[in-house]
Amino acid sequence: LPTTFELNNGVRIPTVGLGTWQAPLNVTREAVAFALQQGYRLLDCAYIYLNEREVGEGIRLSGVPREDIFVTSKVWNLHQDDVGAGLGRTLDNLGLDYVDLYLVHWPIRFFPDPTAANPLRPLNPDGTYKVDRSWDQARTWAGMEAVYAAGKARAIGVCNWSIPYLEELAKSWKVVPAVNQVENHPFLPQHALKAYCDDRGILLEAYSPLGGPGAPVLQDDDIVAVAKRNGVSAACVLISYQVNRGIVPLPKSVSHERLVQNLQVVRLPPGDMALLDGLAARGKAQRLNKPPFCWDLGFDDWD
């Protein structure tokens, strides 16, 4: 199996990355340094994870050269009107002068409200998010193309984009997104989105490849059976499943033992791949990550 995939602009991306969402501040630095020393070369970050400073410190602590590491971050919903400034904050946090991949975190812009209890997550009085429904994502993407042209990001892409949103963006994009990062595991394989992105040279990345916090997909009977048959852990099955189908999984862990375990990728037999591909269609379909501002993202399995 390959250890890198090629993006549509020729840049190479490692086939397995380290997720940092919900990595607690007090352990992130050490976990990132350990992960890099164990061989991770792709770090998946975001401004809104609020731990980019610790990730940057972890990079420096690891001793691994910057240019050997593929760093991803994402522009937060609040900063879509000034992508350059959003990326500037992230670079300042990370202590870097470029990222390898910059993504639009959600196809949704928030209205700024500096008086909100949490200005990063501005709420209406009824508790819903202040979403700017009139915002044209083509404007955000033009900002992404500008930071790409300026060399601040070696590649640009999107995150949490369904086919209808990609279709809309395709009307005006000059740079085709290199990546679309979405929730993905055998309960949510997103076959139609995968085919759509394959046709356009957009590489999929899988967040929550184990099912997200608590790793619920690891407990599934069918996953456990595939793991037993192949003599590997259930986590290895879920991570390998993605690499075998040409998707970059981004498992998150801060435990040394699990960080090491999650680097194991094996070739899965076609019969097991078919079984994993079909689990959702056989009654196990489940989207596990449903942020409250995402009711209209256009995923056809969204309930």
Residues of the shown chain interacting with ligand A2P in the complex, contacts defined by CB under 6 A: 19, 208-215, 218, 235, 251-255, 258, 261-262
Three-class SS of residue 303? coil
Phi and psi, residue 153, nearest 5°: -135, 130
List 49, 102, 165, 207, catalytic entry: 49
Name 72's bridge partners.
44, 101
Q: How far is the CB of 234 from ligand A2P (least distance, A)?
A: 7
Q: How far is the CB of 152 from ligand A2P (least distance, A)?
A: 27
Q: How far is the CB of 55 from ligand A2P (least distance, A)?
A: 14
Phi and psi, residue 97, nearest 5°: -110, 0
Q: How far is the CB of 195 from ligand A2P (least distance, A)?
A: 23
Residue 258 burial (C-beta neighbours within 10 Å; 0-12, 13-18, 19+): middle
| Dihedral sign for Cα atoms in the order 189, 193, 199, 200 | negative
| Of residues 254 and 297, the one with the C-beta less far from ligand A2P | 254
Q: Does 49 qualify as catalytic in the annotation? A: yes
Q: What does the alpha-carbon distance between residue 289 and residue 21 come to, in Å, rounded to a whole number? A: 12
Q: What does the alpha-carbon distance between residue 99 and residue 303 come to, in Å, rounded to a whole number? A: 34
Q: How many helices (H) and strands (E) does the chain have?
A: 10, 10
| Of residues 44 and 144, the one with the C-beta less far from ligand A2P | 44
Q: Residue 2 corresponds to which amino acid?
A: P
Residue 115 burial (C-beta neighbours within 10 Å; 0-12, 13-18, 19+): exposed
Q: How far is the CB of 106 from ligand A2P (least distance, A)?
A: 17
The answer for residues whose C-beta is within 8 angstroms of residue 42's C-beta and 6 or more apart is 13, 14, 16, 17, 18, 69, 70, 72, 248, 250
| Of residues 87 and 179, the one with the C-beta less far from ligand A2P | 179
| Of residues 99 and 234, the one with the C-beta less far from ligand A2P | 234
| Of residues 26 and 255, the one with the C-beta less far from ligand A2P | 255
Q: Catalytic amino acids?
A: 49
